[in-house]
Structure 1
Amino acid sequence: MLKIVVIGGGPAGMMAAIAAAAHKEHQVILLERNEKLGKKLFITGKGRCNVTNNKDIGEFFENIPRNREFLYSALYSFTNEQLMAFFRERGLELKVERGDRVFPASDKAFDVTDVLKEELLRRHVEIHYRTLVTDLLLEGRKIKGLVTNEGQIRGDWFIFAGGGASYSGTGSDGTLHRLAKRAGHRIIDMKPSLIPLVATDSFPKELQGLSLKNIRFTLVEKGKTKFSDVGEMLFTHFGVSGPLVLSASAYYQGGNATGIIDLKPGLQEQELDLRLQKDFLKFQNKDFQNSLHELLPSKLIPVIVRLSGIAPDKKCNSISKGERQQLVKLLKGLEVHITGAKSLNEAIITRGGVDIKEIDPSTMKSKLVDNLSFAGEMIDVDAVTGGFNLQIAFSTGYLAGGSL
């Protein structure tokens, strides 16, 4: 019999404990520092819990900016289809929304946590709440036990699944990374990912709260396009946010960059120019500032008028071809000058963590410590928004627990 101790009651830790407990000869203990399991799950997907994505599992790798090859074994050992079947077989109905995002049909994150908790109890996993691990008992290449606020806990095998270093109020404050480092592991610097971006321009503050749908957001750094996709974004008092920007931030390296907003991605420049000609003909006797209400949200019009350089009170029938073409370029390439991101504690996930070179990708076992495995956000892997990160957590957890 193996006594397996899983540290962290998030999605990776719960799935690791469930998979480990599938072997009835194992005694599995799950340690959670909070008063309940899955605390971070309650804030994912705006409280609805975007459990995974319905794309073909082969397409997942396109949405993982770094270290995607490391995840082949995990994602193919426990696919999104297997995860969805896991929940459905236990009575949780799921639904697929825009971008192939998968949510519980109830739109309630705690329904997801309830299924996982019930399965843990069914498999006789011993759950310890309010248990904070503060140190390791090390002997050579092995962990002999843990020092916690509840005393020492001995074990034969340990799975670290304590999350990243964002949203520290949920318990993922980097504590286990420090202990992994003490055990000899290299920790890649942890930075924010899936995070709003800060801009120097003044107009985002004017547009604060304005959400734009069906636009293209492109992130350019040092002359190279790092990210480009169509979807939804949001202006804030400090810069830009929303699904597109959060995904773009997964590719952002820091420092100066440019966000390019194509307000009309469905139209080529020539087609947009024709559209403007029709509108200007229709409103030929109106001032320019009063001619864009059929093309743009009202809150955005004063900003576009100002940035276009065309006098607000200029009559539409007096606008020159050159002015119109400059307007087209602005509508197809509104630039936001980015200088940084919000703080790590505001990030949805953490970039960085335990170096993948020191973990066996086929088992999630440490190459340095003989009885240690890792799962979830502790590892230096992260993806864009859309359910991909939770799938990574569940898949690495399943592989870590199932490989023992």
Structure 2
Amino acid sequence: MFADRVLSGMRPTGNLHLGHYHGVLKNWVALQKQYECLFFVADWHALTTHYDTPEAIEQSVWNMVIDWLAAGVDPSQAILFIQSKIPAHAELYTLLSMMTPLGWLERVPTYKDQQEKLTEKDLTTYGFLGYPLLQSADILAYRANRVPVGEDQIPHLEFTRNIARRFNHLYGKKAGFEDKAVLAIKKLGSKKSRLYNELRNRYQEQGDESALAAAKSLLDEQQNLNMGDLERLFGYLEGGGKMILAEPETMLTPASRMPGLDGQKMSKSYDNTISLREDPVSVNKKIRTMPTDPARVRRSDPGDPAKCPVWQFHLIYSDDQVKEWVQQGCKSAGIGCLECKQPVIDAILAEQKPMHERAKMYEEDPTLVRNIIAVGCEKANRLAEETMRDVREAMGLNYS
């Protein structure tokens, strides 16, 4: 019923690094070629934990968008926008909060986890508690039915699905809904009407998920029904009402294997990152001064790549021939640590070269970035307003 639409966002909390590229941006570049994609700067989300240092957000916003463009995100293929520039995010967040049980928010796993990790911050705020609901509003405002997330974000997506389901249940059943659904069924024709009713009964009476899938496929194929009738039939199928908000499906992204310079996960909090657009001289210096296997005190000492942080980079950047050369050379002391590091340096610089080239014109003329975002915000606003018109009508707020 709803178009295949992907939505994803990132918080502007500083320069992006290679961990962001391998964990998120490479996936965005692939998705934009397959789906209608919306990628947004989650500046309000940054305030949920950085509410006391807002001055750093603005510059981070523009730097992050340049990083996206440098990585290959294409504004001709995807809509790029800033969360706070689209009023629908705040409006839908507020309206959804009226029907969201408090216990649902308190049970989101990251709520207590983040409070325990960020002990230096006072996170006993309404904004932090409501973070998952704002995330839901971000998704539901665009009826995005595909959301790429890591495993740690799956509970947030399930929360969003529950919010959409609850909203549709509360506000999708207008007076006469069932009568209109029955009339819509007749428009399918006698044969398809019987099949729809049979599949609906099998799902509702026996919980047959295959019957539900078959019925949805049947409706997806219908060309002669208007959007209103289709929405009613999708809602009637599951025993609910009109499908006003789309339930998003999880697109699980592979966990990023990008290590930091010290062998831990690459993270700004560990001060072990290489930025997407880092100067080549700096990249060279950082890799050359990386720690290696402690057993290799002298050039003639054999080592074990498994105990060396540099090996983690070879797993990402080197082919089988180079990896074999590293294994043999390290264990036999046939190569030194600086020799071992050079292929990694070369590979990272090669990866970053097109990023520097793509970023150059945006760095020289920041108005280009602002224009891209302005166009993206206009497109995003139109899509969100389509949803909000239906939401306001469903909640009885379209009076004048």
TM-score (norm 1): 0.33
Q: Which has the higher helix share?
A: 2
Q: Highest relative contact order (Cα 8 Å, sep 6+), 1 or 2?
A: 1
Q: Which has the higher strand share?
A: 1
TM-score (norm 2): 0.33
